[in-house]
Amino acid sequence: MDSTRRRFLQAGIATACFPTIVRAEDARPSNRLRIGVMGLSRGLDHIRSFSRVPDVEIAWVCDVDAQRVAKGAALVEQLTGRKPQTAADFRRILEDKNVDAISIAAPNFWHAPATILACQAGKHVYVEKPGSYCAGEAEHMAEVAAGHKRHVQLGTQRRSYPKTTEAVARLKAGELGRIRAARSWYTNTRGSIGTGKPVPVPAHLDYNLWQGPAEARPYQDNLIHYNWHWFWHWGNGELGNNGVHALDIVRWGLGLEHPRKATCSGGRYHFDDDQETPDTTMAVFDFGDTSVIWDGSSCHRRAADTLPFVKFYGEKGSMEIDAGNSYRMIDPEGKIVDEVKAGSSDVPHFANFADAIRDGATLNAPIADSHRSAMLCHYGNISYRTGKTINIDPANGRITTPGINASLWQRPYRSGWGL
């Protein structure tokens, strides 16, 4: 019996997917993992998930915002009965020799530098999607994880959803026959971010540390904590924010690595504001014998459309996978022949990470493979920003289109933070 299933059985949740809390003081000390969580917005969900994994202690919480640190520490104490240590600078966690792993939920531009420093410090890493700010970082993260023999799990948690895993197994078993195309969608109703103005940095925020490896820019009032996603200097737009989840399912389902070509078009159509990244996007990837499309609409829900998260088109029919943990099989005539519905939880993905460290279980989203999903987002954004179709060597993932600015492949770093 594999270790993940064994631990879930021990927690009484093998079939439930919504586990009960196991307090750290009830864990077996010899098996206990000590985790630090960096970035306490999405990181609060990391705390909730880790608190439900047996034999895990959330030993540290970290954020550059003191108010968020207090909130994260209070949540740990509420869920586990233990007060974690706190820090603004994640490097304090890396200095703790008793910490086994760090869970990174900081902004995208922190993903690679924090992961690499953690691996070099001997820590295992759970890192949120997309896992890198640029293509060069994605490559380097995989190399460093392998070189230091560290487990690095990307936060594409659907790889641990039981029914999504079942759906992918059916694809790989050939139930749809040969698959020539896959499409994916993301829609939302995001509003305007307005026009930012320079204001004093709030007293509870260490803005200098927030910027970290990114070249310094003045503080403005419409940037933190979320709108950085829509500025190229800090974020990767909706393609890197949510497109990576869908594209990862496609790659996983079809066993794809690098495409031959990538093209991406669209624009910022809905609001006249500071957002630089597109709110309406179509990215197309040519894998030689398979076409993959991601269609994003950040500011229009398209409620009249009934869209799955991902759809595969095969010779014997199609398969739709939703954003949760459900899927359905459709015959060539469009009739639904099988529908599987289930609730979803991120906990199995965190449990899989813990079991890899503790018992040698196979990671469900190892950075050695999953960094290629981030690469698709980077190819798409490079295409959008240059207005060019990007040609790629499928053997190594390198761009062969001439005239691509090297800074779009590997970003410049602030002094002292180069990889």
Percent of the chain surpassing pLDDT 70: 93
pLDDT in the model for residue 30: 61
The span from the CA of 218 to the CA of 345, in Å, is: 39
pLDDT in the model for residue 31: 86
- In DSSP terms, 198 is beta-bridged to 220
Domain boundaries, the chain: 3-159+347-366, 161-194+221-344+373-408
Q: How far is CA 71 from CA 90, 93, 101, 157, in A?
A: 17, 18, 21, 24
309-333 residue pLDDT tens: 999 999 999 999 999 999 999 999 9
Answer whether 3-159+347-366 and 161-194+221-344+373-408 agree in fold: no
In whole numbers, what is the pLDDT of the chain averaged over residues?
Answer: 93
| Proportion of the chain in helix, strand, coil states, percent, rounded to 5 | 35, 20, 45
Q: Which CATH class is domain 3-159+347-366?
A: alpha beta
pLDDT above 90 (res 4): no
> Contact, 418 vs 332, CB < 8 A?
no
Q: How confident is the model at residue 233 (pLDDT cuts 50, 70, 90)?
A: very high
Confidence (pTM): 0.92
Q: Which two tokens stand for residue 1?
A: 């019996």
Q: How confident is the model at residue 139 (pLDDT cuts 50, 70, 90)?
A: very high
> Contact, 69 vs 44, CB < 8 A?
no
The span from the CA of 383 to the CA of 367, in Å, is: 24
pLDDT in the model for residue 208: 97
**What strands lie across the sheet with 291-297, from one edge to the other?**
336-340, 327-330, 317-321, 310-314, 179-187, 291-297, 280-286, 261-267, 390-391
The span from the CA of 57 to the CA of 51, in Å, is: 7
pLDDT above 70 (res 23): no
Q: Which two tokens stand for residue 351?
A: 């449990």
106-132 residue pLDDT tens: 999 999 999 999 999 999 999 999 999
pLDDT above 80 (res 22): no
The span from the CA of 329 to the CA of 340, in Å, is: 9
End-to-end CA separation in angstroms for the chain: 40
Burial 215-231 (b: 16+ CB within 10 A, else e): eeeebeebbbeebbbbb
pLDDT above 80 (res 20): no
The span from the CA of 305 to the CA of 186, in Å, is: 12
Q: Which CATH class is domain 161-194+221-344+373-408?
A: alpha beta
Average pLDDT over every residue of 55-68:
98
Cα dihedral 67, 133, 124, 348 sign: positive
